[in-house]
Amino acid sequence: MAVSRASASRRPGRAKGRMRTVRGVAAARRAIGAWRARGLRIGFVPTMGAIHAGHLSLIRQARAASDRVVVSVFVNPLQFGPNEDYAAYPRPRRRDHSLLAKAGADLLWEPGVADLYPPGDRTRVRVEGLDAVLEGASRPGHFEGVSTIVLKLVNVVGPDDLWLGQKDAQQARLIEQMARDLFLPVRVHRARIVRESDGLALSSRNRYLSREQRSSAVALSLGLAAARRALQDGERSAARLRTQVRKVWRDWSGVKEDYVAVVDAETLSPVSRVKGRVLVAVAARVGRTRLIDNFEWEPR
């Protein structure tokens, strides 16, 4: 298993708009198996739907590096807590289909819950240590759901390349570790965060925000920008970096902190001083919507 943060050179593709849609596990395996028999390279982008420009960027990068691109849309109940938004999570199916076809997906796989969690399903996957901090501390059980579903999806698709987004940095790091530990024959790519013009990280949950809340949500990226400037100016104290973020947030009464963290980018363990590559990660509620954002930084 290898990890990459850059897309490969363009490979032979096909005309956009010819996307095929399948539902069950067997149908997905048949479609992908036919490509595999021809020696084609398979890129895979797992999503929960509510497709936005961040997803489309992943698909375009997969398109450039692969012969065929598979996208899954599955709102995974296992990664939602009892008081989270599983039932209300946006599912704009017709819009998603159109966007995915235009972006260059060859196969859209839309399994149902019973396809991936059939009666008698018992197995769960944990990546110990990486699953209990940051998002894991705030959302117990969340990453067990993430690692379990990603392993199931990868086992069905059998991709050469798996494309993930940096916005969910902890999720990406956890999946990288799982792929390494379980000897999964897949190359994991992590693509940069796609942002709106004012800096807000794109997220399917942004559509929950009212106009006023949307204005406040930009505080997450502004706080991170202040921490990045401090790092560039020589600040190495994690406590003072967290203070930089919180100073910005004080001007936004609608932003309620969940966490502001400076951690080792590999282990996700807290650091007191920045000596190597770190992840600066934040989570906050704006109204009832929980948002996350982050950046990685390494001293030169």
* Residues known to be catalytic: 55
Instruction: Give the span between the Cα atoms of 198 and 122, in whole angstroms.
Output: 44
- The angle that helices 142-157 and 25-37 make with each other, rounded to 10 degrees, is 50
Instruction: Give the span between the Cα atoms of 106 and 187, in whole angstroms.
Output: 19
Tokens of 157: 């698709």
Backbone angles phi, psi at 52, to 5 degrees: -135, -175
Instruction: Give the span between the Cα atoms of 273 and 263, in whole angstroms.
Output: 10
Instruction: Give the span between the Cα atoms of 286 and 2, in whole angstroms.
Output: 37
Listed residue (72, 5, 18, 7) closest to 41, CA to CA: 7
**Beta carbons of 67 and 11 less than 8 angstroms apart:** yes
